[in-house]
Amino acid sequence: MNCRLVSSFLSQFFHSRLFLSNQEKMRSTTQRLGITVSSAEVK
């Protein structure tokens, strides 16, 4: 594997991790606020 491929894979991996953690934060925040729109989006 060349370095460029590894670095691109790692960056994609970390970006997806950040995106997922941000989604979880948003979901918990909306649940705390009691907004039902988020539950409608999950379905």
User: Structural domain boundaries of the chain?
Assistant: 3-42
Q: What is the pLDDT of residues 1-43, one digit of tens each?
A: 688 888 999 899 888 888 888 888 888 887 777 766 555 666 5
Location of structure tokens 């379905």? 43
Quote the pLDDT of residue 41: 61
Cut 0.95: pTM above it = no
Q: And the tokens for 6?
A: 């590894």
Cα-Cα end-to-end distance for the chain: 40
Quote the pLDDT of residue 10: 87
